[in-house]
A and B are shown apart, each in its own frame.
Chain A
Amino acid sequence: MTALLELHNVSKRFGGLQALRELSFAIEEGEILGLIGPNGAGKSTLFNLINGVYTPDSGRIVFRGADITGEKPYRIARRGLARTHQIVQPLSNMTVLENCMVGACFGRENLPLARADEAARDAIAVAGLEERAGTPGIQLTIAGKKRLELARALAASPVLLLLDEVLAGLNPTEVERMIGVIRRIRERGVTVLIIEHLMQAIMSLSDRIVVLNFGEKLAEGMPAEVARNAQVIEAYLGDPRLAAELQSGT
């Protein structure tokens, strides 16, 4: 296996807040890597650095062998990196199909309109939104909008998919279905980096886990190893319920 995405000593500071400090890790091709950590640990900031919304203060980000540090989001998208947002960002007055066509047209394959239509319908089917294809994005439920985020990212036929809390706000049935969708996406050969607060879900989905705390890497390893790691448990002790969940999660 070769590394698809590598982070080398990436740091980012917002004013007085050191959001990320000297963070390094790599994602192997084909794996699902889980990213966990208490609130404010820097998880979403990390996503924004990887896909070019922010530029790191120092360090390098290498994607498929090319240095993408400081590149614009639309260039990184073209290289085959797609993401979803924790706070959903639908193109409000455009239909689900149109939303996904934007992903297909301007994503990795840079498809012409007619073929983007096919790719979009395909992605909509994977995300289970077929019946909503003609609905404007803004009229979907929260679960629907999360699926739209996923379908739109998939339509770009990405090599690497960043999922930012796609399970948050869903009910248990919806969580089950979404986990199924994520597994299917991986079976298609897409590498996944996922942020999630639902411990049970992330422990069962991920091949490996990286734990962030106060912008630094606290631990990295298989889900079972991470769950036994004393430092990780300590970091979560502020929230005993989560710590208990972490230990029983595997």
Chain B
Amino acid sequence: MPPLLRRPFFWIIALVIAVFAIAPAIGNNVELRESLLLAALYITLASNLNVMLGYTGYVNFGSIVFFGLGGYLCVWLVSSYAWPLGASLLVAGIAVGALALIFGLGILRLRGAFFALATIGIVEAVQAFAENFTPWGGSAGIYLSSAIFQPMGGPARALWSIYFLMVAVMGLSLYLSYLIKISKFGLGLLAIGQNEDAAAILGVPTPLYKALAYSASAFLPAIAGGLYFFKSAFIQPSDAFDLTLSTEALVVAMLGGQGTVTGVALGAYLYEELRGYLLTSETFSNFQLVLSGVLLLLIVLFFPSGLMGWIYSRFPCARKVLE
């Protein structure tokens, strides 16, 4: 797609991916790698959430369900059927994407607060399913034996491979949300986000577009979930379907500026760094969530367009380069 290569933003994303991939590899910096892995995860979750929240204007409180289900499917395929990691991740992503399409066609008939409540309902329902589904170990979850890392050259090398895969998933997330934004599909989603009834009257096939957006925003988080729980070698319902992470993804998207690709990524990175600092600090370690709540309040009240909105108003030329 040559015209795409001429857009500066394409190369900005490539640069971000390169920095993520190279920075920790220099000097084998494991500590930095672990911190950036979480940042890449937050960027993945927030960027995909942004397709629903920022473009289509639907508040999805339950985006974590994609992450958790992807994690479960992947870990299950690896542990019970001895599938290789790559195939498990791909199948998990596709299955969760397809499931989201079906769910989406149903619950996207709801709007506003009702939709938001339904997304929480889905998380609760899927969590209850996982807690009672024997092949997934019920509430005890699934453990992977440490031998699982042997085909990847032992745990030390496996962790690096997992890190690079997570960076790749983050890169794909950024490209996906960028491509959607500059496409006709994205124009339709933005129109729905602005005024859904007017969009339908202008000819935007709203139910299909909304369900496709919901499904597209499920695929990569599911793969990220697979990677994350494969790395932990353990998954249980309360970790996989933790609403906190969903809420954090919302905070991140709003902090950075919903609807923008750059802002959401930047917000995710900053939030993760802050979170890392707070968790390790002696005074604040118990206040991390309090802080994200206060942050969300402040953004909603005073900076509804987030970090990117501030940058755009300060430097109008940024609008042309940073999507």
Residues of A within 8 A of B203 (CB): 73-74, 77-78, 103, 105-107, 110, 156
Are B201 and A102 in touch, CB under 8 angstroms? no
B227 CB-CB contact with A under 8 Å: no
Residue in B184, B195, B206 whose CB lies within 8 Å of A91: B195
B267 contacts the other chain (CB 8 A): no
Q: Tell me the bound Cα distance from A193 to B200 in angstroms.
A: 20
Q: Which of B96-104, B137-145, B185-193 contacts A (4 or more CB under 8 A)?
A: B185-193
Query: In angstroms, how far is the closest chain B Cβ from the Cβ of A163?
Result: 14
A94's partner among B183, B190, B204, B205 (CB-CB below 8 A) is B190
Report the minimum CB–CB distance from A107 to chain B (whole Å): 5
Give the docked Cα–Cα distance between A53 and B201 (Å): 8
For chain B, the bracket of interface size reads 10 to 19
Contact B184 A74 (CB under 8 A): no
**Interface residue B199 (Cβ < 8 Å from any Cβ of A):** yes
Contact call A91/B204, Cβ cutoff below 8 A:
no
With CB as the reference atom, state the residue of chain B lying closest to A153: B202
Complex Cα distance A73/B183, Å? 22
Residues B195 and A102 in contact, CB atoms below 8 Å apart: no
Q: How far is the CB of A147 from chain B (nearest CB, A)?
A: 16
Name the residue on B nearest A94 (C-beta).
B194
Q: Which residues of A contact B191 (CB under 8 A)?
A: 91, 94, 102
Bound state CA distance, A92 and B198, in angstroms? 11
A110 to B205, CA, bound (A): 12
Q: Is the CB of B195 within 8 A of A152?
A: no
- Is B239 in contact with chain A by the CB < 8 A criterion? no
Contact of B201 among A73, A92, A98, A113 (CB under 8 A): A73
Bound state CA distance, A107 and B183, in angstroms? 16
Output the residue of A51, A74, A89, A103 with the most chain B CB within 10 A.
Answer: A74
Say whether A184 faces chain B, with CB atoms less than 8 Å apart.
no
Q: Is the CB of B198 within 8 A of A89?
A: yes
Give the one of B188, B203, B204 with max A CB within 10 A: B203
CA–CA, A94 to B202, complex, Å?
Answer: 14
A34 contacts chain B at the CB level, 8 A cutoff:
no
B197 within 8 A of A: yes
| 0 or 1 for each of A100-125: is its CB under 8 Å from B? (1 = yes) | 01110111001011001000000000
CB atoms of B187 and A101 under 8 A apart: yes
In the complex the two chains form, what is the Cα distance from A164 to B210 in whole Å? 28
| A8 interface residue per 8 A CB criterion | no
B-contact 0/1 string along A78-99, CB 8 Å cutoff? 1000110100011111100010
- Given the known interface contacts A72-B200, A73-B200, A112-B184, the answer about A92 and B194 at a Cβ–Cβ threshold of 8 Å is yes
CB distance from B49 to the nearest CB of A (A): 20
Q: Which 10 A-B pairs have the closest CB atoms?
A: A106-B203, A77-B203, A91-B194, A89-B198, A102-B191, A73-B200, A73-B201, A74-B205, A106-B204, A74-B200
28 A-B contacts, Cβ less than 8 Å apart? A51-B201, A72-B200, A73-B201, A74-B200, A74-B201, A74-B204, A74-B205, A77-B201, A78-B203, A82-B202, A89-B195, A89-B198, A90-B195, A91-B190, A91-B195, A92-B194, A92-B195, A102-B188, A102-B191, A102-B199, A102-B202, A102-B204, A105-B203, A106-B188, A107-B203, A112-B184, A113-B187, A156-B203
Q: Given A53-B197, A72-B200, A75-B205, output 6 extra A-B contacts at Cβ < 8 Å.
A: A53-B201, A74-B204, A82-B202, A83-B201, A102-B199, A105-B187
